Structure 1
Amino acid sequence: MASGLRVDHGTVSGIFSLDGETHEVENNIWVIGDDEECVVIDAPHDVEAILKVVEGRTVKAIICTHAHDDHARVAPELRQAVGAPVLLHPDDKPLWELTHSDELWDADLEDGQSIKLAGASIQVLHTPGHAPGAVCLYVHDLGCVFTGDTLFQGGPGATGRSYSDEDLIKESIRAKLLALPDETVVHTGHGESTTIGAERPGLE
């Protein structure tokens, strides 16, 4: 395991809006790093809440698991605050443009990509279904995967809205997430963490 590498966590509440509906939601804030540098996963609701979890470290990247507004609304503002690039899978461009019509993210994510951080590697897994460009982020050295809204405690993420596909999210989970060890901890975009093993029986 990379020396000093850890996961820091917070929560923040705000609004999720899509298809003319709005909902109050609570999002997890996940930060991976050591004492010096870190990566922020998603940019939910409030920059100050995210910065409290960062705790003054150098942010190397802001990685969006997908572009729903409750995960990406403050990404440009956070980028400006910390001077780090925003990374997003390009298939989520239509969703990104619903919130950010006048600015883009900085670099594309792709399936199988490896992002280096503090002596460790974050592996990008493209898992479309909840959103076309949804990704999960697997950190072997920490024995965990960050699933955004692709997999929760209790099953797959929602697929009843625009740009989502129920069959595809299940296919993505089976192909990419169930390939991980059962003991892998699943850190989700909302709610409690779980494990691959705990979710496997309901997904195979």
Structure 2
Amino acid sequence: MPLYHVDPGSEAALIRVNEDIDLIKISVGTMDNNAYLIHPGAGPAILVDAAAEPGRLKAVIGDSEVGAVITTHRHADHTGALSEIIAMTGAQPWCGEPDAEAIEASTGVTCRTVWDGDLFRLGDIDLDIIGLVGHTRGSIALRLRGNPSDHVLTGDSLFPGGFGKTSGSREFEQLYNDVCMKVFAPLADTTVIHPGHGDATTVGEERPNLPLWRARGW
């Protein structure tokens, strides 16, 4: 059965991360982009990937305060509603440092930046920032420590069944190595992977497939 499935245009899914934090998942736009609202019991929330349909995103946010909008990477299908959501909420925009210039050029939004190994803290929310080079130079994943399982929002770097698209063999090798070293090596099999499109999966579900992915080159 698909894990945390949401259909484009449908209601959002509520995912319990731990006793203090919920993760709200919604699919927006024509490319089935996932946007995620990290919602604590008290204090400001974080929106991840203001991809499209700002009205629907704002409906999910409701009356909650949004302190930050984090963009996982620079591609236009993940930034289509960024400027509108920043204007609506007054939130601070953030992204991976190597993608900041491209995001500003395409959206007009100047992001503050994070990169691999940083701890992003907002109120009761702590996010471990994981830099995953390959799909873009500045792609990031966000790790939420949960109970009983951690949750990692991977953007377009890791999906059920494989990695995100890369432009060549060098970029694939970089992404393969980054994901193996920074996701599969340190994280438990129960860790839930929430990608930028489609259903979730787990580290344990995907781990046996790594040799196949390496051999096929995507």
Alignment TM-score, normalising by the size of structure 1: 0.85
Letter in 2 for 1:12: V
**1:69-89, Cα deviation, whole Å (9 max, x unpaired):** 011122121111000011011
1:69 maps to what in 2?
A: 76
Structure 1 residues 32-47: aligned runs within 5 Å: 32-36=38-42, 37-47=44-54
Is contact 1:136–1:146 with CA below 8 Å preserved after alignment? yes
Say whether residues 1:125 and 2:141 are aligned partners. Answer: no
Do structure 1's residue 137 and structure 2's residue 153 form an aligned pair? no
Q: In the alignment, which of 173, 180, 188 is matched to residue 179 of structure 2?
A: 173
Q: Deviations over 1:3-47 (max 9, x none)?
A: 431111111123xxxxxxxxxx11111111124431000111121
- Map 1:1-204 to 2 at 5 A: 3-14=19-30, 25-36=31-42, 37-93=44-100, 95-97=102-104, 99-100=106-107, 103-141=108-146, 143-160=150-167, 165-178=171-184, 179-203=186-210
Q: 1:61 to 1:97 in 2, by over 3 A?
A: closer
The amino acid across from 1:109 in the alignment is V
State the alpha-carbon separation in 2 of the partners of residues 75 and 104 from structure 1: 8
Q: Percent identity?
A: 28
TM-superposed CA distance for 1:120, in Å, is 3.5
Report the Cα offset of residue 105 of structure 1: 2.3
CA shift in 2, pair 1:38/1:93, >3 Å: closer
How far residue 94 of structure 1 moved from its aligned partner, in angstroms, is: 5.3
- Whichever residue aligns with residue 136 of structure 2, its letter is A
1:33 and 1:117 map into 2 onto residues whose CA distance is 11
For residue 133 of structure 1, give the secondary structure of its aligned residue in structure 2: coil
SS in 2 for 1:182: coil
Tell me, in whole angstroms, the C-alpha distance in 1 between the residues paired with 2:109 and 2:79. 11
Letter in 2 for 1:8: I
Q: What is the number of equivalent residue pairs in this alignment?
A: 190
In structure 1, give the amino acid aligned to 2:210.
L
Displacement of 1:95 in angstroms is 3.6
Secondary structure (helix, strand or coil) at the match of 2:167 reads coil
- CA distance 1:35–1:48, shift in 2 (3 Å): farther
Query: Is this contact kept in 2: 1:3–1:119, CA < 8 A?
Result: no
**Deviant stretches of 4+, over 6 Å:** none
* Paired amino acid for 2:22: R
Counterpart Cα distance in 2 of 1:4 and 1:29: 20
**TM-score (norm. length: structure 2):** 0.80
Whole-angstrom CA distance in 2 between matches of 1:77 and 1:96: 14
Q: Is the 8 A contact 1:187 1:194 kept in 2?
A: yes
Deviations 1:134-192 (A, max 9, x none): 0000011351000000000111111138xx92111111111111121110000110010
Structure 2 residue identity aligned to 1:9: K
- Show structure 1 runs of 5+ residues with no match: 15-24
Moved more, 106-115 or 78-87: 106-115
Which structure features the higher share of strand residues? 1
User: In the alignment, is the contact (CA less than 8 A) between 1:28 and 1:191 conserved in 2?
Assistant: yes
Are residues 119 and 94 of structure 1, via their aligned partners in 2, closer, same or farther at CA, if it must alter by over 3 Å? closer
